[in-house]
Chain A
C-alpha cells in the first residue's frame, strides 16, 4: 500500500480540534446548568490526573479500551467489522471468573495463577468472535449483525451466571446476598505495577502497549498483515491470488476475539475482582468507538483509549464533587465521535490525494 498520507500534523490536528470543540460545548453546557465551569473543570482534571489513584484508574480503563480497539482494527484491515467487543469482554469475564474461582489455579507458582484465567478469557473471546467468522464464511452472515447480536447474548449470559447459584453466583447466606460472584483470590488478581492499592495500575497496562507493538508489526510487517490488506482492498482479487479467504477471516476474528476476551480478564482481574451483572457496561462500545476513530492505526487506538479513559474517570469525579452530571461527559464523548466521523471524508480525501 503506497497511499500518500497527510502530514502527521494534519492527522493529529483534526482529532485534537474535534476534542477541543467538544470540550468547548461541554463547558458552555456547564455554564447553562448554573454550575461554575472552572470548578467543574477543576474537579474533572482532579478526577483524571489529580492523584495516583485517579491516573491509575484512567490508565486501567484506557488499557481495556485499547484492547477492544486493537480487536477492531485487525479485522478492519481485511474489510471486516467486529462490533462484538462488548460480548467478547463479557464471555472473557465469565471465563476468567470461572477459572479464577473454581479452576484450582490460585496455588500455582510463576504467575500462572493470574495468567491461566486470562488465557481462558482469551480462548472464550476467540471462540465467541470465531462463531461470527464461521457464520460469515459458511452462511454468508453479515458480521456486523452477528457480532452485535452475540454481544447482547453475552451480556445477558453474564446476568444469568451471576443470578444462578448453579453457575457463578456466590452462595446465598442471607436474603441480602448480592447477585454477583465471589471475589477472586488475591493470587489470581493481575499484580499491581506499583505494588500499592493507592495507585492500582496493573502490570497489564504496559503489557497492552507491548501488545500494541505486536499488532502494529502484524499489520505492517507480516505476511498475514499483507494478506489481510489485500483481502480488504478486493476480496475477489485476493481469492484469485491464492489467499485462503476463509482461513484468513477466521484467523483474524480469533485474534480479535482473544484481545476482547483479554479485555474482559483485565477488567475482572485488574479492577472489579468479582463478576456482576452489567459487568461490561459500555466498555465494549466505547472501545469500539476508539477502534473506529483510530482509522486503522495502532497509535490512533492508544491515543483514543487514553482520551476516553481519562474522560470517563474525570467525569465520575466531576459529578461527585460539583454535582455536574457525568452525562455531560457522555455528551462530550458523543460529540467527539460525531465530529471525527464527520471529518473522515475530508481526511480520506487528503489521504488518497
Chain B
C-alpha cells in the first residue's frame, strides 16, 4: 500500500466510523444507565430523515441537523416512557420503534420527494483543520472531513468527563450497576434513565444526520441499514468503556473501508467476512476470550 492509498484508507475509515462513533457514544450513555437501547437504529434513521428534510426545505444543512435533533426527541421520549414509566421490555420496544420509524420515514420520504427518488439535498462541504492541510497525502486525503467529524473529539471528551469525573456520572453508572442503591440514596433512577435515553437520541440523531446531510447529501429508504446495531456491537466490544468503544468504532470503520479498498487494490477477500467481522469481534469479546467482560449489572432490567 502506498502512502497515498494509506491516506485515502485512513480518511474513509474515519468517515465511515463517524456515524458509528456518534451512535455508540450515545448508546454507551444509556447502557451505563442500565438501558439496552435497541431503538438507536430508529433514532439514527430519524436524524438522517429529519436532517435531510430540514436541509431540503430551508436550504441550510445546519438547520437540517437542528431539525434532526428536534425530531429525535419524541422518539427518545417514547422509548423512555415505555421502558421506565410503563416498564415495557426494552428489547421489544426497541424493535417496535425501529419498525415504526423505518415505515414512517419511508412513507414520509415518498410523500415529500416522490417515489424512489434520490434528490440531492444541501449538505456540508469538507473542512480541513488549519495547519493540517500542508501535510503530504494526509493533508489532502485524510484530514478534509465534514466538520461534524471534528465535533466528535470534544463530544467524546465531554462524555468521558461527565461519566468519569462528575457526580452525575457516578449516579448514572450506578443506575446501571445498582439501581436499588441509587434509589436508597434518594436519587431517582427513572429520571437518570430518561436523561440517558434522551442523550442517546441526540447523539444517534447526529450520527444519522452525518450520513444524510454530511456524507452522501441525500436520503435513501432505510439508509442506516443496521448501523445502530453495529453501534451496539461496538459498545459490547468496547466492554462498556468509552476509549475501547471509540477504538471498536474505528476498527469497524476500517473493516468497512477495506471492503471498498481491497478490490481496488486487486485483492479479493470475501466481502462477507469483512462485513461480518465487527459482529464476530464483538462475540469473541463478549465470550470472554479477550480479557474479562463486564456489562452493567442491571442492563436491560426495568426498575424497580
Contacts and interface: CB of A to CB of B under 8 A. Distances in A.
A335 interface: yes
Nearest to B300: A144
Interface stretch (A53-61, A262-270, A336-344): A336-344
Contact of B95 (A140, A337, A343, A344): A337
Contacts of A273: none
Contacts of A330: 99-100, 102-103, 106
B219 interface: no
Interface residues of B, number: 48
B78 A345 contact: no
Contact of B283 (A140, A149, A289, A334): A149
Interface string B252-273: 0000000000000000001111
Nearest to B229: A152
Given A330-B106, A334-B103, A342-B86, A149 B96 contact: no
Is chain B's interface secondary structure helix, strand, loop, or mixed overall?
Answer: helix
B37 interface: no
Contacts of B110: 325, 327
B31 to A, nearest CB: 10
Given A156-B275, A334-B101, A149 B286 contact: yes
Nearest to B108: A327
Given A149-B286, A160-B270, A325-B106, A144 B276 contact: no
A337 B79 CA distance: 12
Contacts of B89: 292, 341, 344
A38 interface: no
Most chain-B CB neighbours within 10 Å: which of A139, A164, A329? A139
A194 B81 CA distance: 48
Interface string A252-291: 0000000000000000000000000000000001001100
A314 to B, nearest CB: 14
B36 interface: yes
Contact of A289 (B92, B226, B280): B92
Interface string A125-151: 000000000010001111011101110
Contact of A327 (B78, B97, B102, B273): B102
Interface residues of A, number: 46
Interface string A321-353: 000010111111111111001111100000000
B272 A145 contact: no
Nearest to A32: B111
Contacts of B101: 334
Nearest to A135: B287
A174 interface: no
Interface in A50-107: 81, 83
B272 A159 contact: yes
B152 to A, nearest CB: 25
A178 interface: no
Given A156-B272, A331-B100, A334-B100, A344 B91 contact: no
A275 B248 CA distance: 32
B111 A144 contact: no
Interface of B: 36, 78, 81-82, 86-89, 91-93, 95-104, 106-107, 110-111, 221, 226, 229, 232-233, 236, 270-273, 275-276, 279-280, 282-283, 286-288, 293, 295, 299-300
21 contacts: A142-B286, A146-B286, A148-B229, A149-B233, A156-B275, A285-B95, A289-B92, A289-B95, A325-B110, A327-B104, A331-B104, A334-B100, A334-B102, A335-B100, A338-B96, A341-B92, A341-B93, A342-B81, A342-B82, A344-B87, A345-B88
Given A149-B286, A335-B100, 8 more contacts: A81-B91, A139-B287, A141-B287, A142-B299, A149-B282, A152-B276, A334-B97, A344-B87
